[in-house]
């Protein structure tokens, strides 16, 4: 859809009113009532149009080459770019993506359902199988086979509490990091999430969220409405956010963040008692519901094949899907962790917005705002000319009546 060029209409309106003034003024001097009425209206419209032209132009540039001063303010937007950027960053951080909104969305998020969706991908299953096979092979090749068998036997005899499972998990994570097995899994997860983010339904959901947030932000506040006018449409914001998330997922940023997060998690597993207790509880529940039905002894004793895991993924996923208690515990632990991260890192949203805006030069900033709100601002000029003209005619008529 081609945008209407209101700049041309505003210039034609001002030019027409100016021409009308010069044509009608001689008739006004001759005492013509009609000439005086038209001349007064065109005079006031010309003054109003010129004043509004100066005001609109002063937002972006220096009309007539006038430099910014205490009396005449020009280049208002370039001169206040830091305040505008700060207001936009604050709006995105504290209104569009506020902590309350994120936590409300998080509370309704079914992480275990997302986990099931990710692990239904054949590529993820294959990479996870390879990683687990390598890990289990390394465990099986340990020198102290008798101790390993004893631990497995105790595990199967429900003596799980005697094992420091959280410390074992920390060692498994570090082992995976050292052998780069985890990188393939993280890469597959990022790729899968990127595919989900790219769905039209996700963009539509983001668009609805942004529209609702903008409506709340602008509600009964003229200043916020003015700031909101400079923003792209909710659909463009949603598309831009979608593209930004995809780039972050695909350029390795998220993968590196997840890797660092796992390393930090492994370190905390070794040092924080409360976290160890919570992780142990989660592991106990998973082992109670899953390991009792698996031939663990055969897995370690016999040859370990990747195909074993590949053939049993549907069974394992179905068991996890049907185990509401385990899924609830997983959701609770993940949400608790993410809630903590929101509290710690929420301020990064504003910083990211500022970092995205800072590269904008004054010319690019002006171009962006004019593209989004320029036509609406030109309507101010048209309204100034029309309203000024009507006011001038009214004043002339009142003068004739009261004479």
Judge whether residue 395 has pLDDT over 80.
yes
Range 108-123 average pLDDT: 79
- 111: confidence class by pLDDT, cuts 50, 70, 90: confident
Which of 93-97, 223-227, 247-251, 321-325 shows the lowest mean pLDDT across its residues? 223-227
Q: What is the pLDDT of residue 228?
A: 61
- 9, 24, 4, 77: which is closest to 383 by C-alpha? 9
Q: What is the pLDDT of residue 44?
A: 92
Q: What is the pLDDT of residue 42?
A: 92
* pLDDT per position as a tens digit, 143-202: 455 555 555 545 544 444 555 666 667 776 776 677 666 777 777 777 777 777 777 776
Cα–Cα distance, 311 to 390 (Å, whole number): 82
More confidently predicted of 40 and 263: 40
* pLDDT per position as a tens digit, 273-303: 777 777 777 766 665 555 444 444 444 444 4
Q: What is the pLDDT of residue 45?
A: 92
Q: What is the pLDDT of residue 18?
A: 92
Contact at 8 Å (CB) between 228 and 211?
no
Cα–Cα distance, 119 to 125 (Å, whole number): 6
Cα–Cα distance, 275 to 291 (Å, whole number): 23
Q: What is the pLDDT of residue 168?
A: 67
Q: What is the pLDDT of residue 46?
A: 92
Token duo for residue 138: 């390394």
Judge whether residue 400 has pLDDT over 90.
no
Range 213-226 average pLDDT: 63
Judge whether residue 66 has pLDDT over 80.
yes
Cα–Cα distance, 403 to 388 (Å, whole number): 22
Which of 77-86, 186-195, 393-402 shows the lowest mean pLDDT across its residues? 186-195
Which of 180-189, 258-267, 318-327 shows the lowest mean pLDDT across its residues? 180-189
- CB burial of 262-301 (b: ≥16 within 10 Å; e: otherwise) equals beeebeebeeeeeebebbbebbebbbeeeeeeeebeebbe
Q: What is the DSSP string of 43-81?
A: HHHHHHHHHHHHHHHHHHS-GGGPPP-SSS--SHHHHTH
Contact at 8 Å (CB) between 177 and 263?
yes
Q: What is the pLDDT of residue 63?
A: 86
Range 394-400 average pLDDT: 88
Cα–Cα distance, 42 to 322 (Å, whole number): 79
Which of 9-18, 58-67, 245-254 shows the lowest mean pLDDT across its residues? 245-254
Q: What is the pLDDT of residue 375?
A: 80
Range 47-62 average pLDDT: 89
Judge whether residue 112 has pLDDT over 80.
yes
Cα–Cα distance, 71 to 61 (Å, whole number): 16
Which of 70-74, 304-308, 329-333, 396-400 shows the lowest mean pLDDT across its residues? 304-308
Q: What is the pLDDT of residue 303?
A: 44
Judge whether residue 207 has pLDDT over 70.
yes
Judge whether residue 3 has pLDDT over 50.
yes
Q: What is the pLDDT of residue 152?
A: 53
Q: Which one-letter DSSP state was computed for residue 2?
A: P
Q: What is the pLDDT of residue 43?
A: 92
* Share of residues in the chain with pLDDT > 70 (%): 75
């Amino acid at each position: 859809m081609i945008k209407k060029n209101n700049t041309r209409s505003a210039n034609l309106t001002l030019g027409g009113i100016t021409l009308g003034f010069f044509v009608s003024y001689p008739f006004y001097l001759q005492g013509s009532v009609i000439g005086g009425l038209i001349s007064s209206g065109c005079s006031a419209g010309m003054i109003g149009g010129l004043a509004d032209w100066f005001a609109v132009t002063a937002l972006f540039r220096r009309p007539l080459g006038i430099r910014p001063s205490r009396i005449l303010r020009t280049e208002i937007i370039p001169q206040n770019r830091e305040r505008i950027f700060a207001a936009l960053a604050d709006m995105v951080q504290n209104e569009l993506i506020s902590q309350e909104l994120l936590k409300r969305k998080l509370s309704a998020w079914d992480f275990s359902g997302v986990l099931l969706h990710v692990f239904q991908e054949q590529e993820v299953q294959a990479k996870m199988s390879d990683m687990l096979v390598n890990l289990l092979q390394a465990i099986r090749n340990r020198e102290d086979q008798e101790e390993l068998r004893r631990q497995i036997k105790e595990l199967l005899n429900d003596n799980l509490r005697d094992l420091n499972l959280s410390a074992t998990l920390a060692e498994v994570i570090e082992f995976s990091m050292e052998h780069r097995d985890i990188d393939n899994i993280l890469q597959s997860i990022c790729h899968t999430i990127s595919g989900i983010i790219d769905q039209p339904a996700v963009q539509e959901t983001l668009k609805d969220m942004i529209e609702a947030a903008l409506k709340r932000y602008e509600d009964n506040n003229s200043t916020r409405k003015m700031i909101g006018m400079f923003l792209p449409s909710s659909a463009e914001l949603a598309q831009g956010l979608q593209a930004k998330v995809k780039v972050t997922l695909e350029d390795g940023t998220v993968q590196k963040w997840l890797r660092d997060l796992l390393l930090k998690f492994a370190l905390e597993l070794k040092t924080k008692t409360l976290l160890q207790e919570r992780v142990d509880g989660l592991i106990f529940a998973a082992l109670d519901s899953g390991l009792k039905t698996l031939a663990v002894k055969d897995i370690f004793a016999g040859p370990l094949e990747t195909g074993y895991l590949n053939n049993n993924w549907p069974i394992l996923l179905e068991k996890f899907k049907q185990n509401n208690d385990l899924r609830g515990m997983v959701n609770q632990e993940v949400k608790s962790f993410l809630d903590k991260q929101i509290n710690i890192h929420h301020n990064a949203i504003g910083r990211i917005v500022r970092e995205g805006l800072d590269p904008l030069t004054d010319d690019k900033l002006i171009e962006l705002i004019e593209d989004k709100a320029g036509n609406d601002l030109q309507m101010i000029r048209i309204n100034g000319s029309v309203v000024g003209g009507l006011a001038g005619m009214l004043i002339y008529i009142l003068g004739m009546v009261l004479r």
